[in-house]
Amino acid sequence: MKLTIYKFHAVARCPVRDQLDVYEAVAKSEEMIECEHIATAVIRFSTDKLFQEELTSRLAEVLRCEVTLTGTHSGVQVVSTGYGS
């Protein structure tokens, strides 16, 4: 089994404060994912008002792999993981 880990930043607009939230992101996949596909997925959600957990799930589904986002909200670090099919 081969596992590739992709690290990048993801962004979305906070639905509570309407500010741009920036997340540390990690995608893990046994299949190759083109970096351009990751970049397109990140851009796709960058202006949407999404909670971190929603963004995690959407990225995992689009990229069809495990995605973990880490962000800080009101001084609380949140780590969320989603699993794509």
In contact, 82 and 65? CB cutoff 8 Å: no
Looking at the predicted structure, is the pLDDT value of residue 81 above 80?
Answer: yes
Please give the mean pLDDT across all residues of the chain: 95
Q: Are 51 and 45 in contact (CB under 8 A)?
A: no
pLDDT at 15: 94
Residue 1: its pLDDT value, please?
Answer: 76
